[in-house]
Amino acid sequence: MSQMTRVVVTGATGTIGQAICHALTKRGDQVLALSRNPTRARSVLGTQVEVREWSDPIGVPPPGDALSGTGGVIHLMGEPVAQRWNETTKERIHDSRVLSTRMLVDAVHALPDTDRPLALISQSASGYYGPSDERELDEDAPAGSDFLATVVRDWETEARRADDVTRVVMTRTGVALTPAGGALAQMLPFFRAGVGGPVAGGRQYVPWVHLADVVAAVLFCLDQPRLRGPVNVGAPRPATNAELSHALGRVLHRPAVLPVPALALRLLYGEMASIVTTGQRVIPRRLSEAGFVFAHPELESALRDVLEK
């Protein structure tokens, strides 16, 4: 987006947020991060990123002048999903996404027409589709009905409220491959110890995607004025859990043959285990049709690249 000079990022201190801030500054954009903890954000993001306080994202809109006249807003805020769920954590997972998006969109609506951001890129998730079978799921597939699908549906509903005043894209991101966090970081200790293997039979699909492709896809959505609505962000060839396990074993030169029963995961993680024992075969149709090219379309080479870094 050649005319862009300033981009606002929420959730900037997370794994994806930090990578996006780095990519934006590297290409010459001015980045402003909105954070509940500005001191920590400055220590994490460094001096190249301006930081403003958003004191209560689920109860108070962000400062309007921070959004005014920006090339776009990239909204990544959300409580981590990978933790044991109870009613309190489920409420935080829901509200941190849904209510913060509501507050952000309220702030966008409150701006004069000429001052509104040119685009809102609102993070979403492949969990929108719920547990699925081997069917390929593009952006027109229906929403699921489990807890995470309900969260994502509510999340996207709030983002869509900005449709009448700016271009809105919801990036339905899959499992980002990075050793710094997420599913891969949790798998690595077991596989490095030689006790990894397929989970719950291994037939469920994992909508994996290299972190670098997540970042590139988000910036692509920001830059492409014809993209709007839901956009799947996952590699063009999703893998089953068994394929992911065997590929990771080969990359680490460790056996990956010890099956992990679903019951063991449910005993360990409770209801949250469903994000591992079920999956979605998500296809990035809209990205592909718009001309986006994945730098890491193959699973094993993507894992090698991630772990070498």
In a domain, 252, yes or no: no
pLDDT given at position 180: 84
Check which CATH number belongs to the domain holding 228 and give it.
Answer: 3.40.50.720
Cα–Cα distance for residue pair 67/7, rounded to 1 Å: 9
DSSP annotation of 122: E
The reported pLDDT for the residue numbered 189 is: 87
Question: How much is the pLDDT for 195?
Answer: 83
Model's pTM, two decimal places? 0.95
Count up the domains in the chain and report the number.
Answer: 1
Q: What is the pLDDT along the chain (309 residues), one digit of tens a residue?
A: 445 489 999 999 999 999 999 999 999 999 999 999 999 999 999 999 999 999 999 999 999 999 999 999 999 999 999 888 999 999 999 999 999 999 999 999 999 999 999 999 999 999 999 999 999 999 999 999 999 999 999 999 999 999 999 999 999 999 999 988 778 888 888 899 888 899 989 999 999 999 999 999 999 999 999 999 999 999 999 999 999 999 999 999 998 888 888 888 788 778 988 988 999 999 999 999 999 999 999 999 999 999 987
Amino acid at 249: G
pLDDT (0 to 100) of residue 187: 85
Query: Per the domain annotation, does 143 fall within a domain?
Result: yes
304 in any annotated domain? no
Domain assignment present for 86: yes
Predicted local confidence at residue 132, as pLDDT:
94
The pLDDT value given to residue 25: 97
| Half-sphere exposure in the Cβ direction for 217 (13 Å, CA) | 35
pLDDT (0 to 100) of residue 1: 47
- What is the spatial distance between Cα 141 and Cα 143, in angstroms, rounded to a whole number? 7
Residue 151 lies in a domain: yes
Residue 178 domain flag: no
What residues contact residue 52 under an 8 Å CB cut-off, 6+ apart? 32, 33, 34, 35, 38, 62, 63, 66
Do the domain assignments include residue 255? no
Q: Which residues span the domain enclosing 168?
A: 6-173+211-234+283-292
| Cβ neighbours around 293 below 10 Å, total | 11
In a domain, residue 106? The reply is yes
